[in-house]
């Protein structure tokens, strides 16, 4: 280039003429290429098209009218959790539109998430024991429900991940299950340990399968071998809960696992990995709730705590100092419901006796 010539500067970017339909048809495959799950793609489609249906006059090529419609849409009186969902999905979509030169700016750029009430709900130990007694283990569906209850309480696995689990992904020798990346919400594979009683329940369920069912049929399926939906498990668990007078849903079992893990001395980083959280943000919410439990306990601090152990088939009360309790808890971080089962209790007491000989 000669010294006398001036460089041409780009003063503005020409907007691409695109309709809502064209934008959505381009955007969803792009999110799929990023590795988003089918459920997430459906959520994006719902929130984008719902906005378009509510405000059909908000043209994508008229930024002023679009921004006015978006503000009105976000001003609707809805719960904070739903508001945040609308914000996340639409804001991400509009950011993509800006990057693709479809929009000059993101109308939701300055919008912040609202503080939502915690949806973490714990299930009490007494209710858990009653709940585990409900499924009729003389039937296939009863075996399935019992094993699935134990699996969620024992590992904190997401309902969708559990219902995608195949026979080949359960390792009874090493007492582990493997969650494939395509079945994980974060698209990151992980391995979860199983307690012996959970493994035994899953083994019993698999042994009850008809011989003609192949390995492609999930471990937890319908009685005729079809893939079971999360909604189906939700309804079934709700039905079990109604029988004992409690309201319970699948994600409550996951919440209960997380809180019990922390109460029993587990650390937040281990919980993050086990739960499959992308970062520590969600994990911190569990930590905060568990810390509140600790504070409540210390309002009435006993000098000695009582721990039940087995000796000669009889329950014996053993007084152990608080510091010793904390050491024991760090040794095995299992939910409290775990010790309701004799086989688990025997293993735990064996460890206690080795560490604390009487």
pLDDT digits (tens, 9 = 90+) for 217-262: 999 999 999 999 999 999 999 999 999 999 999 988 988 888 888 8
Could you give phi then psi for residue 191, rounded to 5 degrees?
A: -115, 135
Report pLDDT for 325.
41
> Residue 215 to residues 40, 165, 197, 220: CA-CA distances in angstroms?
27, 10, 23, 12
Report pLDDT for 306.
39
Residues 6+ apart with CB under 8 A from 210: 225
Are 143 and 198 in contact, with CB atoms under 8 Å apart? no
Report pLDDT for 156.
92
274-302 pLDDT, tens digit each: 888 877 777 777 777 666 655 554 444 44
Report pLDDT for 177.
95
Report pLDDT for 259.
84
Residues 6+ apart with CB under 8 A from 288: none
Closest CA to 220 of 257, 256, 183: 183
List the 170-171 sheet strands across, edge first: 170-171, 176-179, 190-193
Mean pLDDT for the stretch of residues 320-341 = 43
Are 287 and 280 in contact, with CB atoms under 8 Å apart? no
Report pLDDT for 273.
85
Higher pLDDT, residue 320 or 1 = 1
Model confidence band, residue 4 (pLDDT cutoffs 50, 70, 90): low
Mean pLDDT across the chain, nearest whole number?
Answer: 79
**Percent of the chain's residues with pLDDT above 70:** 73
Report pLDDT for 296.
52
Whole-angstrom Cα distance, residue 121 to residue 259? 10
Lowest mean pLDDT among 38-42, 71-75, 173-177: 38-42
Higher pLDDT, residue 39 or 96 = 96
Report pLDDT for 347.
41
129-150 pLDDT, tens digit each: 999 999 999 999 999 999 999 9
Bridge-based pairing of strands 314-321 and 190-193 is unpaired
**pTM, two decimal places:** 0.63
Cα atoms in the 13 Å half-sphere on the side-chain side of 100 = 17
């Amino acid at each position: 280039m000669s010294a006398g010539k001036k460089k041409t500067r780009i003063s503005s970017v020409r907007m691409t003429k695109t309709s809502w339909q064209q934008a959505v048809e381009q955007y969803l495959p792009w999110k799929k290429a990023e590795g988003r799950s089918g459920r997430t793609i459906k959520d994006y489609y719902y929130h984008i098209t719902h906005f378009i249906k509510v405000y059909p006059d908000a043209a994508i090529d008229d930024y002023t009218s679009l921004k006015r419609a978006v503000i009105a849409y976000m001003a609707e009186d809805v719960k904070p959790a739903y508001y945040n969902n609308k914000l996340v999905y639409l804001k991400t979509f509009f950011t993509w539109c800006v990057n693709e030169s479809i929009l000059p700016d993101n109308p939701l750029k300055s919008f912040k998430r609202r503080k939502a009430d915690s949806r973490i709900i714990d299930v009490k130990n007494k209710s858990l024991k009653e709940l585990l007694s409900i499924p009729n283990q003389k039937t296939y569906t009863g075996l399935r429900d019992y094993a699935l209850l134990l699996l969620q309480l024992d590992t904190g696995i997401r309902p969708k991940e559990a219902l995608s689990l195949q026979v080949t992904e359960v390792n009874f020798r090493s007492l582990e299950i493997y969650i494939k990346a395509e079945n994980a919400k974060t698209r990151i594979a992980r391995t979860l340990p199983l307690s012996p009683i959970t493994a035994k329940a899953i083994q019993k369920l698999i042994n009850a399968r008809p011989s003609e069912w192949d390995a492609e049929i999930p471990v937890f399926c319908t009685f005729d071998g079809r893939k079971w939906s999360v909604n189906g498990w939700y309804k079934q668990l709700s039905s079990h809960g109604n029988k004992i007078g409690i309201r319970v849903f699948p994600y409550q079992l996951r919440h209960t696992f997380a809180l019990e893990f922390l109460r029993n001395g587990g650390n937040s980083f281990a919980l993050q990995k086990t739960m499959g959280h992308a970062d520590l943000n969600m994990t911190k919410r569990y930590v905060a709730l568990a810390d509140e439990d600790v504070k409540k306990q210390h309002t009435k601090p006993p000098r000695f705590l009582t721990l039940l152990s087995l000796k000669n088939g009889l329950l014996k009360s053993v007084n152990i100092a608080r510091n010793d309790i904390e050491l024991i808890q760090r040794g095995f971080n299992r939910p409290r419901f775990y010790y309701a089962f004799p086989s688990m209790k025997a293993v735990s007491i064996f460890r206690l006796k080795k560490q604390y000989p009487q």
